[in-house]
Amino acid sequence: MTPKASGKQEEKIIDTTRQAVPFNTGNIPGPKMARAVMPAISGKMLAKAKRPILIVGSEIDDPDVLERVVALGKAGIQIASVGDSYKYLGDKGLDAHYVNMHALASYLCDPEWPGLDGKGGYDLVVFFGITYYYASQAISALKNFSRMKVISIDKYYHPNADMSFGNLRKDVFIEALDEVIEQLPNKNSR
Amino acid sequence: MTLKKGSFIIEELENVQINIGKVGAKEEEIPEGPTPRPEIIGLRNWDNCIIDRYNPVYTPTADTCDYCTYGKCDLTGNKEGACGIDLEGQSARQALLISIMGSACHSAHGRHLLNYLIKKYGEDFPIDVGPSNLKAPLTETIMGITPKTIGDFIPVLEYVEEQLTQLIAATNTGQEGSSRDFESKALHAGMLDLLGMEVADIIQISCLGFPKSDEKAPLAEIGMGILDPKKPVVICVGHNIAAPAYILDFMDKNGQFDKIEIAGLCCTAHDMTRYNKTAKIIGSMSKELKYIRSGIPDVLVTDEQCVRADILKEAQKLHIPVIATNEKIMYGLPDRTNDSVDAIIEDLVSGKQQGVLLLDFEKVGELVPKLAMKMGPIRKAKGLTALPDDKEFKLLVAKCTKCLQCTKDCPQSLPISDAMAAAVNGDLSLFEILHDKCVGCGRCDYSCPSGIPVLNVIEKASQRVIREEKGKMRIGRGQIGDPEIREEGRNLVLGTTPGVLAFVGCGNYPDGTKDVYDIVEEMIQRSYIIISSGCSAMDIGMFKDKDGKTLYERYPGRFVKGNLLNTGSCVSNAHIAATTIKVASIFAGRKTKGNWEEIADYVLNRVGAVGIAWGAYSQKAFAIGTGCNRLGIPVVVGPHGTKYRRAFIGKPYKKENWNVLDGRDGSVVNVEPAPEHLMITAETKNEVMPLLAKLCFRPSDNSLGRAIKLTHYIELSEKYMKKLPDDWHIYVRSEADLPVAKREPLMKLLEEKGWKIDWEKKKIIEGPLRKVDVSFQPTNVSRLCKEAKK
Ligand code: SF4
Ligand code: SF4
């Protein structure tokens, strides 16, 4: 179970919009950089999306982070498991598919891509837990060559996403993920 | 009168100059293919064929363009800039520029060597690369000529230089606008890069006595811990052997190898050991700053390429004189080429000058050992080092405020503050781990607001592991000889040798140098042929097994399955690409001269060779990769490779992209995606291993070969990704393609996918994309089909 029980109104509100500067200092792509958002916004967008996809990568090995990936997967979100992250997810009964991140970025820019399960493309990309610079570069393809909405719910500020958290401490990051999960209609399936 | 090559003027005809080229009867060079000396447009159809299947994928690092004064233009979302170029075009233009830079770097290296070696040995000095008839495969395939002497390479480099000038012209604002044509040009630049490298390495192998296709080349010592710091130490940094060769000769002549330690950093080190096996290797470019700051070098000699821009600044702090020996890197130093050796030494020892530019190699050869003998005792008496002592170290690590600024500036995002905290409690183990992952860039020093010289702290903390850093590397062998190709070509084309994996490129690994060792060890045990070059070849030799043996000591160096070959320095990469041409020519009898498209088509469809540039950082590595792509060789780059901004990625779900022709009758055959990509990255070593195995599939594999390749693909995926690959069944054409040990369970899985199985006969009845056909001649070039020829 995640540490935060649902419906606890009195809990302190975390602010994920602070420190909204590229985590790698030099990673400034241009005039358009991600809007820093609170987790409830990301969560609501994820809840509203008809066919979202969650991309996670090799940095989900931390048990606290992995627990949230599983929770998101159990809430019915299909997972694109990039890097070697599948090894953490394969036995969890999720709709998770291995795909190479660079190839995925290319496919997501192609309106004819039938998706990871052959059921069509996606309307929202959400990601976290991927090597920072690798994710940042890969999603620059989506930013510039697709109409895809991209939300980072990573602990790093990702300028190439449409929306992102700022750079977060681990405890705040975990809490932010919980708040995202909190918005999902099927959150209790976990 | 005998006419010699050169120019002369006839008396009383002052305005008439007669140029004599090659003198004497020379056999007619008849190109065998349609594109000798291809111009920019020459291979455009082939490039388009590649690009149609392997679509360029752009991952810009900047959404703006500031190349001309119309700008800076915002191209975000693929908008057009003031000149009309959109972000896709701009990204492709950058791919071209990066390829040109890399290509020019190698070709200029070749030009420097060619001018120098012709001056020293004459144009008629014969080419000798070992037991091969096909001595210069890339030159033959691109130029349509068979060079016999080093002078025969003059028109080759002239061609490269002319083409590069044309390509650079296309990058000016208001020139090319199509991303596809930029990519075709980038592929052209990549091909030129392979050619320039081949020239550079063949002439140095021929003239300087380097190993010639020597599978038993001796081992050289490698590592930061190999030198005796009590002796005077000379370190040569860069890529060009010309100057270091004179130093080695002088030391040899004067019996100084037991008095002075001499070693190289980056590819100069490779070529120093090829020239004189007494030389040693410190390591890749990642070790430059680390080694200089250790204070061990007493003299630094620089030449060209992969030499840090701050070497002079760093050396000055430790009173290490720098001798720059190449016009490409002069550091603003005074040109002392015409001064006496003794006068220069006096000024350097006294500190009057911190370094000099010295372009006379004879003088370099004499000066450097003499200077080292003087500087060594002086520097050692002073104990000069940038590393803190024990007391300072304790104070420095205690200063860390855990602000994480260093991690944010670190290209590897290393957890430095955790290591600082552990060190406060006397635990240095986290720093020791960082030492291997750190690429030695020094960015953290600039970023720390508490003024901690972070890299020096890492290095101080890692002294125990640095002292142990003593590996072995087999000295660069040069080309793969024709006899080896004859022996192995068939296995490669039929797939019974699962593939050739070429470990190339630099040391910008995502998770430390150990990754390369681990990947090589896994793949070589699976009988892949491993060929290496450059910094990867060095790093492969840095680690030992439990018996204290490096991979070079465990595996022989012949071009057969389960062997580990080192071709040599960066320019020796050419031989790796050229090996695929040799397979096409020697094994399959394809004509080479002026016949790039046919050769590349053969390689793409039939030769299971893949390049891995796991730590590629430089423009040169990108150019090499792009050249390999034009030759039909897929390349995988580490995650930093996304910053090259362009990849060539296949779309397996687009069935129509995977049509090839059958050379026998021109019929169209829809094949499995093999190879699936031409240039792609992977995030981790676990991900890259099954990917490498997959990229070795070729439409020409016979069933035994396909079963072997499939076995490795499945096993590697299960071992490192904990899953059966999703697409394994795509590569099954009949039950004979299935790994023998798993045939039945896999057939059950196929049945679950809707395939029809005859369980009695244990045969697949229905399901595969196509049948196995041992006579199938896959090609993407219609003129090569028999029907088309009629
Ligand atoms: S020197 Fe090493 S630790 Fe410092 S920023 Fe560079 S890679 Fe990171
Ligand atoms: S920048 Fe300096 S103070 Fe900040 S975490 Fe790094 S070493 Fe510590």
DSSP B650-717: E-TT-GGGGEEEETTT--EEE---SS--SEEE-SSHHHHHHHHHHHT--TT--HHHHHHHHHHHHHHH
A-contacting residues in B 715-744 (Cβ below 8 Å):
720-723, 725-726
Taken in order B145, B151, B155, B156, the sign of the CA dihedral is: positive
Smallest Cα distance from A109 to chain B, Å: 9
Q: At which of B207, B235, B253 does a domain end? A: B207
Tell me how crowded residue B777 is: count the other CB atoms within 10 A of its CB.
20
- In this structure, are B496 and B445 located in the same domain? no
SS3 content of chain B, % helix, strand, coil (to 5): 45, 15, 40
Asked if B709 and B499 touch (Cβ cutoff 8 Å), the reply is yes
Q: Which residue of A has its CA nearest to B76?
A: A144
Whose CA is closest to atom 4 on ligand 2? B403
Q: What is the 3-state secondary structure (H, E, C) of B251-317?
A: HHHCCCCCCCEEEEECHHHHHHHHHCCCCEEEECHHHHHHHHHHCCCCEEEECCCCCCCCHHHHHHH
| End-to-end Cα distance, chain A | 8
Q: How far apart are CA A180 and CA A124, in angstroms?
A: 15
Cis preceding linkage at B34, omega within 30: no
Nearest CB to B63: which of A25, A32, A98? A32
Residue B23 pLDDT level (bands cut at 50, 70, 90): very low
pLDDT at B318 over 80: yes
pLDDT at B396 over 90: yes
Interface of A with B (CB under 8 A): 23-26, 29-32, 57-58, 82-84, 86-87, 90-91, 97-98, 100-103, 105-107, 109-110, 112-114, 130-134, 137-138, 140-141, 143-145
pLDDT at A190 over 50: no
Smallest Cα distance from A123 to chain B, Å: 17
Asked if B178 and B187 touch (Cβ cutoff 8 Å), the reply is no
- In this structure, are B300 and B349 located in the same domain? yes
pLDDT of res. B555:
98
Tokens 């002239």 sit at which residue? B158
Give the CATH number of the domain where residue B596 resides: 3.40.50.2030
Cα separation values, B331 from A139, B314, B491, Å: 39, 12, 51
CB contact under 8 A, A83 and B723: no
Q: What single DSSP character describes residue A68?
A: H
B360: three-class secondary structure by DSSP: coil
pLDDT at B24 over 80: no
pLDDT in tens, B700-710: 999 999 999 99
| End-to-end Cα distance, chain B | 53
Tell me how crowded residue B286 is: count the other CB atoms within 10 A of its CB.
24
Give the CATH number of the domain where residue B184 resides: 1.10.8.190
CB contact under 8 A, A31 and B64: yes
In our burial notation (b when 16+ CB lie closer than 10 A, e otherwise), range B180-199 reads bbbbbbbbbbbbbbbbbbbb
Nearest atom (ligand 1) to Cα of B442: 1
Containing structural domain, residue B687: 487-536+549-564+573-766
Query: How many residues are given for chain A?
Result: 190
Task: Return the structure tokens found at B605.
Answer: 């469809």
Does residue B457's CB lie within 6 angstroms of at least one atom of ligand 2?
no
Residue B561 pLDDT level (bands cut at 50, 70, 90): very high
Does residue B655's CB lie within 6 angstroms of at least one atom of ligand 2?
no
Taken in order B670, B672, B674, B676, the sign of the CA dihedral is: positive
Smallest Cα distance from A135 to chain B, Å: 9
Looking at beta carbons, which pairs linking B437-440 to residues 24 or more positions away fall under 8 Å? Answer: B437/B412, B437/B509, B437/B511, B437/B512, B438/B286, B438/B290, B438/B410, B438/B412, B438/B414, B439/B286, B439/B411, B439/B412, B439/B507, B439/B508, B439/B509, B439/B617, B440/B285, B440/B286, B440/B287, B440/B288, B440/B289, B440/B290
Q: Which of B259, B269, B135 is nearest to B541 (CA)?
A: B269
Q: How far apart are CA B722 and CA B469, in angstroms?
A: 33
Task: Return the structure tokens found at B109.
Answer: 């290296």
pLDDT of res. A12:
66
Asked if B503 and B529 touch (Cβ cutoff 8 Å), the reply is no
Q: How far apart are CA B138 and CA B141, in angstroms?
A: 5
Q: Which of B693, B727, B740, B723 is nearest to B522 (CA)?
A: B693
Return the C-alpha torsion angle A95, A99, A103, A109, nearest 10.
0
Residue B2 pLDDT level (bands cut at 50, 70, 90): very low
Return the C-alpha torsion angle B256, B258, B259, B265, nearest 10.
90
pLDDT of res. A5:
43
- In this structure, are B133 and B198 located in the same domain? yes
pLDDT at B18 over 70: no
Q: Which residues in chain B have Cβ-Cβ distances shorter than 8 Å to A57? A: 683
Mutation choice for ligand 1 from B284, B285, B412, B436, CB with most ligand atoms inside 8 A = B412
- In this structure, are B592 and B626 located in the same domain? yes
Smallest Cα distance from B409 to chain A, Å: 6
Tokens 């990519």 sit at which residue? B183
Tell me the DSSP string of B554-578: HS--SSSTT-EEEEESGGGHHHHHH
pLDDT of res. B788:
57
Q: Which residues in chain A have Cβ-Cβ distances shorter than 8 Å to B76? A: 30-32, 143-144
pLDDT of res. B28:
56
Domain boundaries, chain A: 35-189
Asked if B453 and B389 touch (Cβ cutoff 8 Å), the reply is no
Tell me the DSSP string of B581-647: HHIIIIIT----TT-HHHHHHHHHHH--EEEEETT--SHHHHHHHHHHHHTT--EEE-GGGGGG-EE
SS3 content of chain A, % helix, strand, coil (to 5): 35, 15, 50
- In this structure, are B158 and B294 located in the same domain? no
Average pLDDT over every residue of B347-359? 97
Tokens 């191209």 sit at which residue? B75
Q: What single DSSP character describes residue A5?
A: P
pLDDT of res. B20:
45
pLDDT of res. B417:
97
CB contact under 8 A, A133 and B686: no
- In this structure, are B395 and B527 located in the same domain? no
Between the CA of B312 and the centroid of ligand 1 the distance, in Å, is 20
Q: At which of B147, B178, B207 does a domain end? A: B207
pLDDT in tens, A85-99: 999 999 999 999 999
Phi, psi of B701 (to 5 degrees): -50, 135
pLDDT at B22 over 90: no
Q: Which residue of B has its CA nearest to A141?
A: B59
pLDDT of res. B21:
44
Is B658 a domain residue? yes
- In this structure, are B673 and B755 located in the same domain? yes
pLDDT of res. B786:
83
Going along B735-786, which residue ranges are E strands? Answer: 756-758, 763-766, 778-779
Q: Which of B240, B238, B338 is nearest to B285 (CA)?
A: B238
pLDDT in tens, B710-750: 999 999 999 999 999 999 999 999 999 999 999 999 999 99
pLDDT at A8 over 80: no
- In this structure, are B359 and B508 located in the same domain? no
Q: How far apart are CA B725 and CA B718, in angstroms?
A: 8
pLDDT at A20 over 70: yes
**pTM of model > 0.90:** yes
- In this structure, are B402 and B455 located in the same domain? yes
Is B232 a domain residue? yes
- Best A82, A100, A160 member to test B by mutation, with max B CBs in 10 Å, is A100
Provide CATH code, domain A35-189.
3.40.50.1220
Q: How far apart are CA B402 and CA A45, in angstroms?
A: 34
Q: Strand order of the sheet with strand B668-670? A: B668-670, B659-662, B778-779
Average pLDDT over every residue of B62-90? 97
Q: How far apart are CA B334 and CA B645, in angstroms?
A: 39
pLDDT of res. B789:
53
Asked if B751 and B693 touch (Cβ cutoff 8 Å), the reply is no
A-contacting residues in B 400-439 (Cβ below 8 Å):
408-409, 411, 413
Is B601 a domain residue? yes
Inform me whether the C-beta atom of residue B88 falls under 8 Å from chain A C-beta atoms.
yes
* Pairing mode of beta strands B668-670, B659-662: antiparallel
- Name the region of B254 (left: φ>0; alpha: ψ -120 to 50; beta: rest): alpha
Looking at beta carbons, which pairs linking A3-6 to residues 24 or more positions away fall under 8 Å? Answer: A3/A174, A3/A178, A4/A175, A4/A178, A4/A179, A4/A182, A6/A182, A6/A187, A6/A188
Residue B342 pLDDT level (bands cut at 50, 70, 90): very high
* Residues flanking ligand 1, CB < 6 Å: B 409-412, 414, 416, 438-444, 454-455
Is B10 a domain residue? no
pLDDT of res. A106:
98
- In this structure, are B75 and B175 located in the same domain? yes
Per the structure, the count of domains in chain B is 3
Cα separation values, B123 from B146, B245, B360, Å: 15, 20, 21
- In this structure, are B684 and B580 located in the same domain? yes
CB contact under 8 A, A131 and B639: yes
Q: Which of A190, A87, A48, A68 is nearest to A127 (CA)?
A: A68
Size of interface A-B (CB pairs under 8 A): 139
The percentage of chain A sitting over the pLDDT mark of 90, rounded to a whole number, equals 91
Is B213 a domain residue? no
Tokens 């080896």 sit at which residue? B484
pLDDT at B19 over 50: no
Tell the burial category of B390 from Cβ atoms under 10 Å away from its Cβ (0-12, 13-18, 19+). exposed
CB contact under 8 A, A29 and B411: no
Lowest mean pLDDT among B21-35, B80-94, B181-195, B477-491: B21-35
Q: Which ligand is closest to the CA of B455, given by its number?
A: 1
Residue B491 pLDDT level (bands cut at 50, 70, 90): confident
Residue A138 pLDDT level (bands cut at 50, 70, 90): very high
Is B346 a domain residue? yes
Angle at CA A152, nearest 5°, toward A147 and A157? 120
Asked if B497 and B467 touch (Cβ cutoff 8 Å), the reply is no
pLDDT at A9 over 80: no
Asked if B123 and B155 touch (Cβ cutoff 8 Å), the reply is no
